[in-house]
Structure 1
Amino acid sequence: MVYLDAASTEPLHPAARDALLSALDAGWADPARLYGAARRAQMLLEQARADVAEVLGARPDEVVFTSSGTQAVHLGVLGTLNGRRRVGDRLVTGAVEHSSVLHAAEEHERGGGTVDVVGVSRTGRVDAEVFARAVSAPGTALACLQTANHEVGTLQPVEEAAAACQEAGVPLLVDAAQSAGRLPLPRGWSVLTASAHKWGGPAGVGVLAVRKGTRWRSPYPQDERERRRVPGFENVPAIVAAAAALRATAEEAATENARLSALVDRVRTEVQRLVPDVEVVGDPVLRLPHIVTFSCLYVEGEALLTELDRAGFAVSSGSSCTASTLRPSHVLEAMGVLTHGNVRVSLPRGVSEGDVDRFLAALPDIVRRIRASLGVR
């Protein structure tokens, strides 16, 4: 099997595996207690917090660990809105944000709040000037903008948006799930979220960072754990492994990004040359180094994924969170591009040029056979 779905989850980094096995022995105790084993667990937890904060450009006391990136987003969005009720109830967000952001926005609307969704270009990029006008409206309590899109890889104008938010006195929540550890994080964020399994850490660890001075109030009942922001017992071994993977991924990023970006450029070029009636989507330049997405006319995405799986290739289709629901991708719809026959190829650490060549060799015949089965020549 050639695994090409790193945007969904990156395989566990060797550094994470080593750290996890070690922490299972040393960090199993309750870090809130006072006996020796508990103090060792607490030391491991706080060192992991400091390591993650350093990579993200935050202070350790601004960082807490959640059970997932989705929980981090929900806490970030709803907690900041909760903390800024006196300012207003207006939320500004981009149209191609991750579903966790959009679902939190829906919850905010159900509670009586208002949401302004800013559209995107055909490449999936928010217009910074339109976003700036949206956040300057009276009563805006929070703005949300991802660093890069999780489906098509397009980078967003976060620093320009952050400058507009700062001028308007509005905090900016940045979802960095796809870029943390891979690219330098943009400046100016007030709240930041990320997910460990996107950078080669174990699943079940998310990160929420809230800048000092940002008003935030938990939407959950109060709990003593994680600076009273995240309820429940910390998974110290998994958090230690997540920190180790983030450090290692950030250290490897410059070399690995250049290699993966060249492979993505090859896929972008060759798919259009080899497959008729195909649309490669997303910004060709302002993009993540490891994601490429294309759509094939006259082909159902689910059928294409099934045939690619039979041929030994693990890829994703449409939204990574809705690929099994047969619903069109909200990202592709917002961009105004072809939504059917969509394939997202996202290259993991260590993928070889031969793996990519095998994929490109298999794809044209698979598409041709599916089209032929539907009577399309």
Structure 2
Amino acid sequence: GDERESGRAPGFENLPAIVAAAASLRAVRAEAAAEAARLRELTERIRSRVPELVPDVEVVGDPSRRLPGIVTFSCLYVDGETLLHELDRAGFSVSSGSSCTSSTLTPSHVLRAMGVLSEGNVRVSLPAGTPAEDVERFLEVLPGTVAAVREKLGAPAATENVRAAGPGLVVDALGRRCPIPVIELAKVIGDVPVGATVRVLSDDEAARLDIPAWCEMRGQEYVGEEPAERGTAYLVRRTS
């Protein structure tokens, strides 16, 4: 302090420190803007390359109105938690908004609100400083990892858990969790004539979201759902 108020006044403002703080803030904001632009380019590469490298993938979210370092996509016929663990073993820590967890059968409320596929969901977050080389290695590892998870999950032969129902088929997926109901639907849709229906029985809450999303991705008609003796019956009409 100074001589004012018996030496208890704090003195004058530290103008050099104030100027330095303002300059630092300007520099940090400029660096943040440049880093955000760089991360947006990296996430855009993931968004564009993943559908080219991995079949049956739905990239989620608006292509431009989004945070620069986050990208989300969902893989058909894949358990999200299994994929998460396999990627972790390969050195990539990602998150999953999938409904397929060991503790719940409830789909992600965010994915449900967006009306997109919930199974096999992966959310990639790129922190500041993420090198482009890490993104390229992720794109190299992902296709084989997804293929391995799909192979590991497998699916019953088309004749298993399937029975005739007039002009269509009934797929009994009761007691089986995502993504098995969709896998079994995909395996039998070609066994019915165009215009006929497949009736999928499922007590997995995720099926209410994933079967319509599968129809949208595969160009088939989702007719709707109806109560069944156990679980819910989801009706899909083959259109092609």
* Residue type at the aligned position of 1:316: S
Question: Within the alignment, does 1:254 sit opposite 2:33 as a pair?
Answer: yes
Cα distance in structure 2, aligned partners of 1:284 and 1:369: 28
1:260-299 aligned at under 5 Å gives the runs 260-299=39-78
The aligned counterpart of 1:373 is: 152
The aligned counterpart of 1:305 is: 84
Cα distance in structure 2, aligned partners of 1:353 and 1:328: 32
Q: Aligned in 2, Cα 1:369/1:252: closer, same or farther, shift over 3 Å?
A: same
Question: Within the alignment, does 1:335 sit opposite 2:146 as a pair?
Answer: no
Cα distance in structure 2, aligned partners of 1:249 and 1:276: 41
The aligned counterpart of 2:205 is: none
Question: Within the alignment, does 1:344 sit opposite 2:143 as a pair?
Answer: no
Verify the 8 A CA contact 1:290 1:347 in the aligned structure 2. Answer: yes
The aligned counterpart of 2:221 is: none
Verify the 8 A CA contact 1:318 1:343 in the aligned structure 2. Answer: yes
**CA radius of gyration, larger in:** 2
1:31-180 aligned at under 5 Å gives the runs none
Unaligned runs of 5+ in 2: 1-7, 11-20, 156-182, 184-240
Give the SS at the match of 2:72.
Answer: strand
Cα distance in structure 1, aligned partners of 2:137 and 2:103: 29
What RMSD over aligned residues (CA atoms) do the two structures have, in Å?
3.1
Give the SS at the match of 1:263.
Answer: helix
Give the SS at the match of 1:363.
Answer: helix
Stretches of 4+ moved more than 3 A in 1?
A: 246-251, 322-327
The aligned counterpart of 2:141 is: 362
Give the SS at the match of 2:66.
Answer: coil
Deviation at 1:251, TM superposition (A): 4.0
The aligned counterpart of 2:97 is: 318
Deviation at 1:325, TM superposition (A): 4.8
* Residue type at the aligned position of 2:128: R
Cα distance in structure 2, aligned partners of 1:349 and 1:283: 21
Q: TM-score, normalised by structure 1?
A: 0.33
* Residue type at the aligned position of 1:355: D
Deviation at 1:324, TM superposition (A): 7.7
Verify the 8 A CA contact 1:317 1:323 in the aligned structure 2. Answer: no
Which structure has more RCO (C-alpha within 8 Å, separation ≥ 6)? Answer: 1
* Residue type at the aligned position of 1:293: T
How many percent of aligned residue pairs carry the same amino acid? Answer: 62
Q: TM-score, normalised by structure 2?
A: 0.51
Give the SS at the match of 1:314.
Answer: coil
Verify the 8 A CA contact 1:316 1:323 in the aligned structure 2. Answer: no
Cα distance in structure 2, aligned partners of 1:360 and 1:324: 27
How many residue pairs get aligned? The number is: 136
